Structures are given as structure tokens and as C-alpha cells.
Structure 1
Amino acid sequence: MIYATRRFEFSAAHRYWRSDWSAEENERVFGPCAYPYGHGHNYTLDVTITGDLDPRTGMVMNMTELKALVSEVLEEFDHKHLNEDTPYFCEQLPTTENIVRVLWRLIAARLPHTARLARLRLYETSDLWAEYDGAEETTFARMYAFSAAHRLHSPLLSDKENLAIYGKCNNPNGHGHTYTLEVTVAGPVDPETGMVIDLTAMDRTVRSVLDRLDYRHLDREIAAFATQPSTAENIVIYLWQELAPRFEGRLRHLKLWETRKNVFEYTGPGAALPHTRHNR
């Protein structure tokens, strides 16, 4: 199956506010997003289509045609206040999760019969986005950082073998990284909040795990790495084991950047990795 992705951008304002809630409840749940006049973002939208190749053109769909089609949809959103200037958020909040589902409906209806919308990923900021593929569940992702030292050294190998395999990473005094962790959860969109998960609760959950690693030496201070090397592979598995029970079945995917060049992904024991794209 061939997938083709085109990136789009638009700018818009929005506000999270439920008129049937008190001001205190709105501010408790939505925080600054409930401020009275709204706020704005430069949104980025990745549109991925699939279908059979046209034997004449060698394309699933002409990207120029896709650009025109999606741009026409986004005209209704670009430089608008989503609550005030569009009809789509009278009865639902313009959260990232709800916006991406609205865009799915509008774009899918305009595609030619030879192409099919495979997924949309909408970035509200570079470290927060929602993705939708037409199913009941919507995925929501957020990126986090932590800094830690470690030494790659396996107790199952001799000192000579460790040095040969790990090289500079076997330095007895250790070295370190600022790790970046992408956490993806999935579930139905809550009809009241328009969210898959409360963002404050998600941040609190992830930080409760990462803060134990942040500014630490993994091998010397984290028990899990006393008997196994602190490779990024083992770190991302450890993070899954710690986070999955806390998300009660909603955790779908972890992606760990050790450096800009070394990236590691895990979706739990026995699960296949989803189709992923490196858009940044």
C-alpha cells in the first residue's frame, strides 16, 4: 500500500469554555484555555492519502490537486476564531481532537473516488498533536524531556567485550543525554471536554515517572538498570512498563530520542509498530 503525505498550515484562535459549567469549573479543567477572549496557534496539518497508483501518472493523486482541495477546506479555518467564525464548534469545543475530526469529515468528502484519506495529524504546537484515521478512537500525543547520565556496560560481558561493543559509551564515569519522549495515548473523545485525556493529568502522570530519572545517573540510581545495560532500547521498555499501568489501557506508543539521530520506538510486548513518519 502506498501512502502520500502533504503538509499544510493555518492560523486560528479558539477558546475552551462550557456555558453550562461555572467559571471555577471551566478554569479548573481548561486553565488558560478558558480565558475570555481566546488564544491562538499556528496549526500544522499532515494529510495522508492512500490508494492504487494511476498507471498513466504513477500517482495516487496529483499533489497539486490535493493542495487545492485541502486549501479550500482550510480557508474556512485560517485566520478565524474557531468558536465565533465557524459553524463547527457551536456544540463541541475546538480542541485539537475535535478539530482533526471535523477536518477529516470535510476533506474525506472532497477526495476523488480513486484516493482514500488514510489519516490526519494536527499539530497544535510542535510537541502536542492529535491524529485521526476515521476510527472511533482518536490518538493524542505529547512530547517530554528529561536529562540523565548513564554508562553502557553489561554485567553479562567481560570488560574487554563491553569496551569492544559500546566504545566511548562504556566510559567508566559515564556520559549523558537530554532525552525526548513522545507519549501517545488513544481513546474516545470525551463529549464534555472534547479531549481524549485531560492534559494536566497526562503531564502529571508522565512527569511522575520521568522526574525519577531526570538529572540522575541511571545505572547508579535507578534499580532497573543495576542488572541490565541502560541502552535506549531498555530505557523505552522500562518507561512503557512504568507508564502503561498508569494510563489504564490507553497508552499506545512510546518514541524515545536519545539524540537527534538515534530514535527508538515501543508499543508494548508483542505489538507491531504503527506506520510512522518523521515529519520534523
Structure 2
Amino acid sequence: MFEVTVQAGFSSGHYLRNYQGKCENPHGHNYRVLVTLVGAELDETGLLLDFKLLKHVLRPTVDYLDHNMINDLEPFTTLNPSAENLARYFFQKTADQLHQMTAGRVRVKDCTVYETDTSYAKYYEAL
């Protein structure tokens, strides 16, 4: 199996609903997102997926969240914008596009969202 990972970053605000503590108040993070792909076959160039193409796939989702209050954006108007839910959101957005682009040859292994340099959440789906 082959794996490739790219990283993207964005700055956004959020607050956690049904939470008691500082994070119930609006605050911001400089998020880092890592998306790892996996597949058994390389393309004719010898790549699982071009890093540039994966960054292009991530760009609309990053741009959607960047410099916004995440709680004001769908699906986070009702879904709590925790790092865990953001990781799943990136996973699903990326997986949908990759399935169409690669006819299932490449899939998302996992997505990791860092809220700080030392705190992150990861989302993956069991096979």
C-alpha cells in the first residue's frame, strides 16, 4: 500500500455548544489539517495522487472555513464545530471528490485537525 499526506492551514473562530468552560465562548484557532490518502496502485506517472492535485481538492473546504466563524457555516450551525467534527468534515469532503476523480483507486485513510500545536483530533473509517 502507498500513502501520501498533505497539510493545509486556516484561521477561524468557533465556540462549543453544550460545553461548560472557556471554549463555550467565541475564540479562534490557527488550524492545521493533514489528509492522508492510501491506495495499492500508482498511476501511470508513478504517483498515488499528485500532491498539487490533493491540495487543489482541499482548497475549497479550507477557503470555506478560513477567516469565518465556523458556527455560522453549514453544517456547523447545528453540528458542534469541535476538532473531531471538523476532521470528519474534511474526511467526507475529500473522500467524495477523490472517489469521483480516481474511480476508487485512491481513498482517504484519515484526516487530522490540529487546533493548537499540541492538540489534535483524527477521523478515519474502518474498512
TM-score above 0.5, yes or no: yes
Query: 1:199 offset after TM fit, Å?
Result: 2.2
Query: 1:145 offset after TM fit, Å?
Result: 0.7
What is the rounded CA distance, in whole Å, between the counterparts of 1:216 and 1:258 in structure 2?
A: 15
Query: 1:183 offset after TM fit, Å?
Result: 0.6
What is the rounded CA distance, in whole Å, between the counterparts of 2:48 and 2:11 in structure 1?
A: 28
Counterpart contact for 2:29–2:116, Cα < 8 Å: yes
Matched ranges for 1:195-234 at <5 A? 195-220=47-72, 222-234=73-85
Counterpart contact for 2:35–2:91, Cα < 8 Å: no
Q: Given the alignment of the two structures, is residue 261 of structure 1 paired with residue 113 of structure 2, yes or no?
A: no
Residue aligned with 2:96, SS: helix
Which structure 2 segments of 5+ residues have no match? none
What count of residue pairs does the alignment treat as equivalent? 120
What is the rounded CA distance, in whole Å, between the counterparts of 1:140 and 1:241 in structure 2?
A: 17
Report the counterpart of residue 145 of structure 1 in structure 2: 9
Match of residue 244, structure 1, among 95, 99, 113: 95
Q: TM-score, normalised by structure 1?
A: 0.41
Q: Given the alignment of the two structures, is residue 169 of structure 1 paired with residue 23 of structure 2, yes or no?
A: yes
Higher relative contact order (Cα pairs below 8 Å, separated by 6+ residues) = 2
What is the rounded CA distance, in whole Å, between the counterparts of 1:229 and 1:186 in structure 2?
A: 28
Query: 1:228 offset after TM fit, Å?
Result: 2.3
Which amino acid in 2 is paired with 1:193?
Answer: T
Q: Which has the larger radius of gyration?
A: 1
What is the rounded CA distance, in whole Å, between the counterparts of 1:201 and 1:153 in structure 2?
A: 35
Q: Deviations over 1:149-173 (max 9, x none)?
A: 001113xxxxxxx4xx2x11112xx
Query: 1:193 offset after TM fit, Å?
Result: 1.6
Identity %: 32
Report the counterpart of residue 86 of structure 2 in structure 1: 235
Q: TM-score, normalised by structure 2?
A: 0.86
Which structure 1 segments of 5+ residues have no match? 1-136, 155-161, 273-280
Which amino acid in 2 is paired with 1:246?
Answer: Q
